[in-house]
Amino acid sequence: MPLCLHHQQPIAEITLIQFPTEELQLFCSKCPKSQDGSLEIVQILDRLSKIQIEDESNVENYLNFLSNRINAIKQEFLQVIESFSKQVKDQIKFFKQQIITPETINYYSSIQQFTSEDLKQLSTLFALNFRLDNHSFSYNKTNSIIQQQIIILHNKIKKVNQLKIQIENSFNPDYQTQSSIQTDEEDCFNEKPTGYKNYIEKDRIQYSQQIRGIEFSVDNQYVFAHSHELPLTAFKIVNNKLTAYQKLEQKSQNISSIACSKMVNRIYVVSDKYLEVYEENQQNHWTHIKQFEMLQTIHLIQISMSELIGLTLKNIVMLWPQQGNEERNKISLPQKHKKIVRSISFNYNSSFLLTACEDILVIWKISNSNQIEIYQCFENQSIIYAQFSDSVKNIFCAVNRFGNRAFWKPDIQGLFYEAQAIYSSSSTFGCTIKFRLNSKLIIIGNHSIQLFEEDQQNDNEWIVKQQIKVNCWNLDVSKDAKYIVADDFRNLCLYVREE
């Protein structure tokens, strides 16, 4: 075991490395505690010894694909991407080292032979696989940090490939037919253009009260629903049927809003002045882990990709960063709404927040969790429901109190404008808007279920492809757009997309 340079005592604590650029700090028992936070080596080893190894083959396959992709591009276009290639390969190597295997656990079984490099690897491994939760650590089996970094790497590689194609096309117009590298349109991660596929009703469960909320978990394995009669319940879809899996409440509470995490299997439940948090444990059972009390009744909740919590208290909007979940971390936004806020939505990368009520639509710019400012305001729009897209395109769809739909896009300066309006003759009292398939599909539940698809001839317009005639206000769509679970007033309905 290395000795502390200041006190010549064995190292007892180390800081946790979450990214390749971070430096490892070593502390003996006499060293002052690190402000960045450190953890005892014995505690790390104890946690590692209790891990139940998960199958990480999907992550391995994805990383291998990225490595092969970079190598192929590098061979044909070495000078353009040499430095970028090294950066990506270093990061891939870093991530592959963090996947826990039985061999990993055995390697760290003896503390006495540790070198400084071993401690650095141990710190990184623990930080990437464990989550600090209320001053205790829990094993994060979804390994969300690695997953998010893989997505970032994949997007970077696609951008480099696009640049490569543009440059080579300037020298050789026939490049796309000659090159052995797939073009972006042929990328195996993109769906090939096909005709629209209809959704067919496959199951229906009848209740005596109107369904009030529906939400899919991040892994699509569960769908949550609740009403005044139905306690918050996790359903599973088995053989195109909705099957009740677990009741999260003993009896029905006055739930006003629910929202699932975008990173882990966690659901946030708003009831009166309380915010309840449930998580799936290693036994695949949903357990209550936290409760927070606010000073006023909470109406809406929304969770960003970066796990930033947005809350509305009548006409007040609050942001709540996840770090620590302490009362002092809550941020009240400047009060712009005079009426009750009807909808709240984060964009894909958590840089914008959208809030809407009948008197004003506000787009907020989020520079960081402590710096939020008004980006654009639109008054007298009568918009009461608005939702950002599921992609980096920063599109959003809005519905006003007359039921009219509008699709908004940013212009070349980044300012939002109404790109398309679809008029309706009916007013609206409830609405849900969902984007799927990289914003190519939009599903709106508002008296009926309308499905819009982006016009391939005009990317500024969406076309109604299907309308399901049900009395729907609440719905959610699985991330792959295969399933829609929606209410038909007192019925919970399952719709499955044609193969």
pLDDT digits 0-9 by tens, 396-441 = 999 988 888 899 999 888 899 888 888 776 666 678 999 998 888 9
Q: Give dist(CA 231, CA 245) in Å, integer.
A: 12
Tokens of 30: 């006499």
**Choice between 49 and 322, residue whose per-residue pLDDT is larger:** 49
Pair 81, 6 in one domain: no
Pair 238, 333 in one domain: yes
Q: What's the one-letter identity of residue 147?
A: Q
Among 104-108, 199-203, 282-286, 350-354, which stretch is predicted with the lowest mean pLDDT? 104-108
Sheet with strand 416-422: strands edge to edge: 383-388, 396-400, 405-410, 416-422
Pair 220, 328 in one domain: yes
**Choice between 67 and 160, residue whose per-residue pLDDT is larger:** 67
Residue 269 sits in a domain of what CATH number? 2.130.10.10
In this prediction, residue 200 carries a pLDDT of 96
Pair 262, 296 in one domain: yes
87 — pLDDT class (breaks 50, 70, 90): low
pTM, to two decimals? 0.62
The total number of structural domains in the chain stands at: 3
166 — pLDDT class (breaks 50, 70, 90): low
* pLDDT over 60 at 142, yes or no: no
Domain limit, last residue, from 129, 156, 190: 190
Pair 31, 173 in one domain: no
What rounded mean pLDDT belongs to the chain? 81
93 — pLDDT class (breaks 50, 70, 90): confident
Pair 173, 274 in one domain: no
- Residue positions counted in the chain: 499
Q: Give dist(CA 427, CA 400) in Å, integer.
A: 8
Pair 350, 489 in one domain: yes
**Choice between 140 and 491, residue whose per-residue pLDDT is larger:** 491
Pair 158, 36 in one domain: no
Pair 215, 165 in one domain: no
Average pLDDT over residues 270-289: 93
Pair 68, 111 in one domain: no
Among 115-129, 437-451, 456-470, which stretch is predicted with the lowest mean pLDDT? 115-129
Q: Give dist(CA 155, CA 239) in Å, integer.
A: 34
Query: Which structural domain, as residue segments, surrounds residue 40?
Result: 1-53+100-140
186 — pLDDT class (breaks 50, 70, 90): very low
Pair 270, 148 in one domain: no
| CB 179 within 8 Å of CB 186 | no
Pair 244, 334 in one domain: yes
Average pLDDT over residues 301-311: 90
